[in-house]
């Protein structure tokens, strides 16, 4: 846990310690999301939902005692000694992690995938008598409904799509996930039986698992049968109130009209647009008047009070747009 929490300070900027805890546990507010985005920790959003605040504070105290971070008035910052202990090798392998996008439903999406692979495997042998991996009614219904509405030769197309997905992943990810599948004459292994030694410790084991699932899901959404299978759960990854705001805006409603129609406070509307902008590569930034900072350092030093004539939403969208363009 100590080395992972240290990773959160990798940019060298002063970070609000309480906000880091809220990020890890998945508190979905614009202040938490923006903090994660600005300081490149957003992939870890919601990765440790069960983390106790007392445990987190103990780790922060350990890092401070080791002089790997310094603390000042609720903020923490990486020290030169701490930079020597950053687990850069592990951090570099977690590039597929997308906590804001998938943390709500990634587990159920994977469970549905495991069940569907099993079902297709037995059907390909014309066998219908087997014990399903997941007997919960909703999962069984989803799988049956997906099969009922399948077009073409699903018994051929689905395995082909699965092979294409696994081929795009790293070898480590592909082997880790493929060995969890069960089917005719094959019993999948428990995920943590398959972890390499470097990922055995918590929370690295959980992070590697989440990273592998996110990589799989991203590729699965490019395949028609997988996309249809997972679409219902995937929609639940999103803030549904934000989705309604987005739909109204895309049909021509102004920000003000949306607030009136939905009886939402300006702060709630701002939260919706900020989350939409962080999630969607196609967000219509061009429809907003944006500020143009000269550098990342200047932008991170900005305070809204410096721009009294600029709407708060435009101020935040300016920051998001600039950093997205910079980090492409």
96-121, pLDDT tens digit by residue? Answer: 999 999 999 999 999 999 999 999 99
Residue with tokens 């549905």: 112
> 78 - beta bridge partners?
69
Category of 293 on φ-ψ map: left (φ > 0), alpha (ψ -120 to 50) or beta: beta
Which tokens in the block code for residue 246? Answer: 């987005």
Query: In this model, does residue 144 exceed pLDDT 80?
Result: yes
The pLDDT confidence band at residue 151, using thresholds 50, 70 and 90, is confident
Q: How many CB atoms are closer than 10 A to CB 84?
A: 8
pTM beyond 0.75: the answer is yes
Identify the CA nearest to 7 among candidates 100, 97, 103, 82.
82
Question: Domains in the chain and their CATH numbers?
Answer: 2-92 (1.10.10.10), 106-235 (no CATH), 240-326 (no CATH)
238-291, pLDDT tens digit by residue? Answer: 999 999 999 999 999 999 999 999 999 999 999 999 999 999 999 999 999 999
- Is omega for the bond preceding 175 within 30 degrees of 0, making it cis? no
52-64, pLDDT tens digit by residue? Answer: 999 999 999 999 9
Q: How many CB atoms are closer than 10 A to CB 316?
A: 20
CA contacts within 13 A on the Cβ side of 182: 16
Residue 113 near residue 196 (C-beta atoms within 8 A): no
pLDDT for 171 equals 96
């Amino acid at each position: 846990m100590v080395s992972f929490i240290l990773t959160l300070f990798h940019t060298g900027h002063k970070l609000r310690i309480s906000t880091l805890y809220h990020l890890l546990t998945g508190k979905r507010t614009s202040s938490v999301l923006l903090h994660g985005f600005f300081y490149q920790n957003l992939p870890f959003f919601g990765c440790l939902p069960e983390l106790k605040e007392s445990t987190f504070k103990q780790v922060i105290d350990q890092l401070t005692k080791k002089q790997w971070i310094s603390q000042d008035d609720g903020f923490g910052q990486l020290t030169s000694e701490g930079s020597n202990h950053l687990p850069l090798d592990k951090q570099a392998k977690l590039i597929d992690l997308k906590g804001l996008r998938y943390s709500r439903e990634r587990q159920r999406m994977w469970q549905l995938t495991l069940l569907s692979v099993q079902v297709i495997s037995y059907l390909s042998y014309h066998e219908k008598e087997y014990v399903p991996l997941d007997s919960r009614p909703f999962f069984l219904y989803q799988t049956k409904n997906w099969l009922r509405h399948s077009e073409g030769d699903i018994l051929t197309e689905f395995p082909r799509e699965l092979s294409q997905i696994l081929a795009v992943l790293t070898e480590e990810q592909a082997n880790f996930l493929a060995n969890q599948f069960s089917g005719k004459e094959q019993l999948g292994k428990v995920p943590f039986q398959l972890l390499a030694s470097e990922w055995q410790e918590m929370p690295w084991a959980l992070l590697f698992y989440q990273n592998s699932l996110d990589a799989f899901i991203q590729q699965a959404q490019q395949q028609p049968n997988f996309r249809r299978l997972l679409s219902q759960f995937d929609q639940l990854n999103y803030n549904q109130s934000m989705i309604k705001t987005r739909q109204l805006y895309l049909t021509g409603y102004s920000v003000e009209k949306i607030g009136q129609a939905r009886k939402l406070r300006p702060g709630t509307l701002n939260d919706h647009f900020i989350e939409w902008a962080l999630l969607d590569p196609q967000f219509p930034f061009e429809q907003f008047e944006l500020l143009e900072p000269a550098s990342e350092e200047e932008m991170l030093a900005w305070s809204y009070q410096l721009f009294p004539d600029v709407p708060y939403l435009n101020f935040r969208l300016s920051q998001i747009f600039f950093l997205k363009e910079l980090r492409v």
